[in-house]
Amino acid sequence: MFNDLSSPLAALATRRSGKPRDLVAPGPDRDQLASIMAVAARTPDHGKLAPWRFVTVGADQRDAFAALLARAYAERKADAGRLEVEANDQFARQAPALVVQLSSPRPDSHIPAWEQELSVGAAGMNLLHAAHAMGFAGGWLTTWAAYSDMVRDAFGAAPERIAGFFFIGTPARPLDERPRPDMAGVATHWTPA
């Protein structure tokens, strides 16, 4: 469909999510990550509220992040098994770059909460598109940690919520294409009554 891979449409049409556990170095450096977030911030935003924030977790902070996840999970499930504990530790350490996106609603605004939430999702998608355009792959995960108050409080405060953990790096293997929706089922033409 899009033969010129340097075109913006080709970049959009070829973006795929990478499994964070399969993303390896190199990842974006500090300047590249700043550029990725700057592109992500160029998102539809009714009222110019920026109802989202990005928090980077550096490679030197992954041990602290793993410890946070361990504490939060132990509070949630005191009888966690070894595999669950190891999975949380692996989660904290995957991919070279990690950006935590927070939904930061502005309840004092006249802009409906729903529109603010849509902007959060659009900013997250722009983050993935920007990473792809720079030659990286990204994976957007939530898991239990996105719904943990203890984890959220390490990055922000209520009414903020974690919209996702964005892992960015280089795919260790070719990315899988996933099934896409049948366009006939999701795109129709309106016919007035």
User: pLDDT tens-digit profile of 74-131?
Assistant: 999 999 999 999 999 999 999 999 999 999 999 999 999 999 999 999 999 999 999 9
Name the H helices within 77-175: 82-93, 113-133, 149-155
Q: Which of 56, 74, 20 is nearest to 155 (CA)?
A: 56
Is 80 exceeded by the pLDDT of residue 179?
yes
Domains in the chain: ranges and CATH: 17-58+95-172 (3.40.109.10)
Contact status, residue 177 vs residue 57, Cβ threshold 8 Å: no
Query: For the whole model, what pTM was predicted?
Result: 0.93
Tokens 């132990």 belong to which residue?
A: 74
Please report, rounded to a whole number, the percentage of residues in the chain having pLDDT higher than 90.
Answer: 90
Please, which residues bridge with residue 180 across strands?
none
125 contacts 17 by C-beta, under 8 angstroms: no
- 74-98 in b/e form (b: 16+ CB < 10 A) is eeeeeeeeeeeeeebbebbebbbbb
The answer on pLDDT for 61 being more than 80 is: yes
pLDDT tens profile 164-178: 999 999 999 999 888
Backbone angles phi, psi at 167, to 5 degrees: -100, 130
Choose among 121, 117, 95: nearest CA to 27: 95
Q: Give the C-alpha separation, 162 to 100, whole Å.
A: 7
